[in-house]
Amino acid sequence: MIDFELTEDHKMVQSVAREIAARKVAPTIRDFDRKHEFDPTLITALKEADLMGVCVPEKYGGMGMDYISLGLVCEELEYADTSARVIFSVHIGLNSMTLLGWASEEQKEKYLIPQAKGEKIATFGLTEPGAGTDAVGIATTADKDGDHYILNGEKMWISLADVADNFLIFAWTDRDKKEKRDHSGISCFIVEREFEGVTTGSIPGKLGVRAGNTGWIAMQDVKVSKENMVGEPDEGFKIAMTCLDGGRYTVAAGSTGLIKACIDASVEYCRTRKTFETEISQHQLVKEMLAEMEYGYQAGRLLWWKAGWLKNKGVRNTRETAMAKWFCTDQAEKAAYNAVQIHGAYGFSDEYPVERFFRNSKGAAIYEGTREIQKLMQADYLLGFRKDKETRLMVPGYEE
């Protein structure tokens, strides 16, 4: 049964996330954005509210809530700023939920529990200087050395690169398959910041998400125990694709928060700004732009809710999540564009938040799979070139 009514638990977690966004992000975000600085106290606030493991089962240190709850937190945080939501996308959507589905019990005890409690911060490392959408194009290698693997390579455009304690790293363990571009030769590893040979740095000059920490991870002869391999050898590509299902979901949900922020900022401005002795809210083309924002918000929410509903049931949702990610990020870009238009010259200044919304909206159409990749995926489903097995997911559902 599909129910569009939020439960009391949903409303509770939504309220908690909204309060944190209003108290910790909104008052200072313009200053942090201007300075291109990350505010680490936000992570502390999220930890104190027990949100860092919102949809991780209680046995592994989390709140044990469902995927709709995760989406609601992302929406509320991105309403204040995209950089706040990104913390969730990488920490939970890309890393912790991957460990929940693929890690051994020993790995969950050592890594997932501290992450769910917010004692350790985690991120995800697939993209490289020469490989983004082309995941098989990664160059990082992991060579077997007794009971260890020796990792060499560099990851790029990594959120929380200078903040995270744990990294989920993908590398070639089969060099012959690497030469053939056979993705079954990729494996996945948990790498700790403290491992010798790990260095990180930040990427300056970003167009948007300036208050978020984005950087690179370099690994030079990093010795990683075989016990830190997630899943079986050569399962890395499969794991990475399930990671993206989680990450894309959080991006989709967050994008509706950005749309709502554009709507609210624009409605408020329409009530105060006059042209030709009339509130601009009375101009038909302004009304059209507002209506288009609302259309995107309402339809986008339904798409990520459906994906979350499938996730709650433990059912494969790659197609639905990809559609939600494409539509929601596309509509967020359009909403931010319209919000700037409505604000006119003031939309070109950071005196009003829509300028920041406009810059932030661009990134989501690129990361976690570009808009173009999402389109190709949907076409391939329609043409029968791509089919998902109707199997239950490894990550447990919440409606059992």
User: Measured between alpha carbons, how far is 255 from 275 in angstroms, rounded to an integer?
Assistant: 31
List Cβ<8 Å contacts ≥24 apart for 191-194: 191/125, 191/151, 191/166, 191/167, 191/219, 191/222, 191/224, 191/228, 192/165, 192/166, 192/167, 193/164, 193/165, 193/166, 193/167
Tokens matching residue 342: 């409505």
User: Measured between alpha carbons, how far is 17 from 61 in angstroms, rounded to an integer?
Assistant: 19
User: Of the residues 8, 333, 368, 400, which is catalytic?
Assistant: 368
Q: Alpha carbon of 54 to those of 92, 176, 265, 351: distances in Å?
A: 8, 41, 29, 34
Strands 166-172 and 214-225: unpaired
Tokens matching residue 7: 């439960």
User: Measured between alpha carbons, how far is 288 from 307 in angstroms, rounded to an integer?
Assistant: 29
Alpha helices of the chain — where are they, by DSSP H?
A: 8-20, 29-35, 41-48, 67-80, 82-88, 97-102, 105-107, 113-116, 175-180, 236-272, 284-312, 318-343, 354-364, 371-383
DSSP assignment of 130-188, as one string?
Answer: TBSS-GGG---EEEEETTEEEEEEEEEEEETTTT-SEEEEEEES-HHHHHHT-GGGEEE
Task: Check if the beta carbon of residue 248 is closer than 8 Å to that of residue 369.
Answer: yes
| Count, residues in the chain | 400
Residue 105 annotated in active site? no
User: Measured between alpha carbons, how far is 152 from 132 in angstroms, rounded to an integer?
Assistant: 18
Phi, psi of 349 (to 5 degrees): -120, 150
Task: Check if the beta carbon of residue 329 is closer than 8 Å to that of residue 371.
Answer: yes
Active-site positions read 368
